[in-house]
Amino acid sequence: MLFLSCERRPCQCAMPASPWPTPRSVRQASQLHAVLTTSGKIVHPPSAGHLLSSLTNCLSAPLHLSYALSLFDRLPLHSTFLFDTALRACLRASAGADHPVLLFRRMRRGGVRADAFTFHFLFRCCSLARARAGLCRMLHAACLRTMLPSAGTLVTNPLIHMYAVLGLTDDARRAFDEMPVKDAVAWTTMIGGLAKMGLLDEARRLLVQAPERNVVSWTSLIAGYSRAGRAAEAVNCFNSMLSDGVAPDEVAVIGVLSACSQLKDLDLGRSLHFLIGEKRIKMSDNLVVALIDMYAKCGDIACAQGIFDAVGRGQKPQPWNAIIDGYCKLGHVDIARSLFDQMDTPDVITFNSMITGYIHSGRLRDALLLFMQMRRHSLRADNFTVVSLLTACASLGALPQGRALHASIEQRLVEDDVYLATALVDMYMKCGRVDEATIVFQRMGERDVHTWSAMIAGLAFNGMGKVALEYFCQMKRNGFQPNSVTYIAVLTACSHSCLLNEGRLHFKEMRSSHGIHPQIEHYGCMVDLLARSGLLDEAMDLVQTMPMQPNAVIWGSILSACRVHKKIDLARHAAEHLLKLEPDEDAVYVQLYNIYIDSRKWVDASRIRMLMEERGVKKTAGYSSITVAGQVHKFVVNDQSHPWTFEIITMMEEIAHRLKSVGYSPITSKITVDVDEEEKEQALLAHSEKMAIAFGLISLPPNLPIHIMKNLRVCEDCHSAIKLISKLWKREIIVRDRSRFHHFRDGTCSCNDFW
């Protein structure tokens, strides 16, 4: 209405060439369009140009672009300016590279001369749309043929940017070097392109050469170092910028804050916070996010909360996301959730952070409920969500759900990427499907050090240590640098497969060839390997010479090896340490009790019993679970609560019968209760593992493997009984217990575990 009121009287302030007011919205543009059409003025090139140009300035939706392009199509005359404006419209609507290329072809067919703006917009469209390298080079060639040599930076700067965005740094560099006159933007674009590709040393060299070092060049270098994990260099770079006399702005500070988060350097963080106030740098939302994130990661959550309360409680979800993530990372999921519930408009990132927080604290049910709530906010799951859910499936051993997620990836409901593929490998491995994990791994386009590590760790857990080491060799041959996580996987492979010499070799090599200092986890693997191999003295030497205090995992390895290798004194020593570290962990008492019983030290054994009673330590009940048709069925010893108890017992009797008929005798020697042999056999038969397997045999189709999860360790009798069951029933049985996978097939098990 407001706009129409000027329709008869042209604005005084408008350009003299165009007697029309300037529309400020698509709606106003369409009104002007109507007026021009009815008055026949639409054929007047300056009027039409004015309309198209001002419409272009208002574009905000794809529909607007089709309006603008249809308007363009109906114009009687197509000048270079009009084509350039149409290209500008494509850019504004970020509508990919197809429209621009078609426009360019029409231009040449129509004999319309291309000018500097034409190529300027074409190159920018290609950058935005990440166009194919071939197309970009073609347009570049067309540009060289068409343009006067002195086209200038209006064309070359977007050209360099285009090549840099596509990762074609050589093309970018050549174009840059061939520029007769380089302005500040050219230098900055080139430096930024190199920094983004991780070519930081080259970027730095260029920065030194540049006639002028501005805040933008410095910032791209700072961010580059920070992204590459070279946080200390990022901070140095920031300091160099300051001493170079370049004033930091909001973006520069955000970059150095993220480096500071990595370094967890609270003092530096505080001084940066002070600098913001001192230099009166604008406190944008993004800066607030970076500050909250920095304080949270540097361990000062109170300060993070303070900033959030002061400036973060607006409508924008980003500051909320930063503080929620901070609480989740510290394990305070309930505080995070209460903030989450206060939000008006959570976005995908909010949900992803909260879901991941729940998953990392083992609250998978809450994670799932939240995932289902996303629909109510009409939010779609993205790659982050799917990776988190795959992690949950991996830790639950939920193979069918994991497969469903895989299917949604294959159907391209989410974009395939390295993270996703690695999470898939991890999920299949943790569900015992080495074959499927391998297929995913082999089909992936891009791999990185995490992918290889997941593969090696997965093979290790599945008892395929030798294969894991082959993958490790292949990884190094392909030029990937192993990191400390990779070495945890490699050493786990050695300890789970009892590869003593290989373990020693890799433990030595990690420091000598790759400069990785062993952490407690690496020592843990080595101690386990030595102890399992019966070299308890050597294991203890390592424990005493390592530069940190042994943790419960390490004493646990020693203790369980002591039972097998009958080292009572060392067992007592290890147990003492364990009871100090974890006085409530029932497994320690049970282990020590069993060791005393094994060696007939009845008095010591009963002392342990008493100690447990005194301290109120309860033995956690062992249970096994199996998922059938999406439902989890949980069994404890002698369980009669299941609705199919009758069928299960019948099946267990058949199992006992068939085992006996092939000469199997239950391993009753470890049972310490004083009952007769037959009762012992009955007790073993009622173990939760066997109940779950019996139920699986009844309820799952014969071609499906049976997956069982056990919260403790599979007992010796169950282990050898399941081997036989897998042979007699010709079924694959996969049991995941506390420390590893047991893959039973045709009478064998993949694990190298002992009792």
Partner DNA sequence: CTAGGGTTAG
Q: Closest separation between CB of residue 597 and DNA, Å?
A: 40
The residue (of 71 and 571) whose beta carbon lies closer to DNA is 71
CB of 429 to DNA, least distance (A): 10
CB of residue 579 to DNA, shortest distance in Å: 33
The answer to whether the beta carbons of residues 588 and 668 sit under 8 Å apart is no
Q: Which residues fall within 8 angstroms of residue 336, CB to CB, at 6 or more apart?
A: 324, 325, 327, 328, 353, 354, 357
Using CB atoms within 10 A of its CB, is residue 30 exposed (0-12), middle (13-18) or buried (19+)? Answer: middle
d(CA 591, CA 589): 5
For 9, phi then psi, to 5°, come to -115, 105
Provide the Cα torsion 537, 539, 544, 545; round to 10°.
110
Q: Residue 286 or 752: which CB sits closer to DNA?
A: 286
- Count Cα neighbours of 118 within 13 Å in the Cβ-side half-sphere: 25
Rounded Cα distance between 201 and 221, Å, is: 9
Whether 485 contacts 456, CB under 8 Å? no
How big is the chain, counted in residues? 755
Retrieve residue 200's tokens.
């930081």
**Quick one: 223 or 546, whose CB is closer to DNA?**
223
Residue 185, Cβ neighbours under 10 Å: how many? 18
**Beta carbon of residue 31, minimum distance to DNA (angstroms, whole number):** 22
**C-beta of 252: minimal distance to DNA in Å?**
5
Judged by CB, which is closer to DNA: 252, or 575? 252
127: which 2 tokens?
Answer: 């950058």
**Cβ 109 to DNA shortest distance, Å:** 26
Cβ 291 to DNA shortest distance, Å: 10
How far apart are CB 353 and DNA at their closest, in Å? 5
Q: What phi-psi label fits residue 264: left (phi over 0), alpha (psi between -120 and 50 degrees) or beta?
A: left
Beta strands in 570-678 (DSSP E): 623-628, 631-636
- Compute the least distance from the CB of residue 495 to DNA, in Å: 21
Report the residue number, 258 or 560, with the smaller CB distance to DNA.
258
Nearer to DNA, 120 or 140 (CB): 120
229's torsion region: left (phi>0), alpha (psi -120 to 50) or beta? Answer: left
Task: Provide, rounded to whole angstroms, the least separation between the CB of residue 246 and DNA.
Answer: 9
492 closest CA partner among 521, 514, 517: 521
Distance between CA atoms of residues 432 and 412, nearest Å: 25
Q: Which is nearer to DNA, 182 or 506 (by Cβ)?
A: 182
Q: What 3-state DSSP class applies to 327?
A: helix
Beta bridge partners of residue 743, listed in sequence order: 734
CB nearer DNA, residue 350 or residue 624: 350
Binding residues (CB under 7 A) for DNA: these are 88, 120, 154, 157-158, 161, 184-185, 188-189, 192, 196, 214-216, 219-220, 223, 226-227, 249-252, 254-255, 258, 261, 284-287, 289-290, 293, 318, 321-322, 325, 348-349, 352-353, 356, 360, 382-384, 387-388, 391, 417-423, 426, 448, 450-451, 454
Q: Select 219 or 438, whichever has its Cβ closest to DNA.
A: 219
DSSP states of 485-501: HHHHHHHHHHHHTT-HH
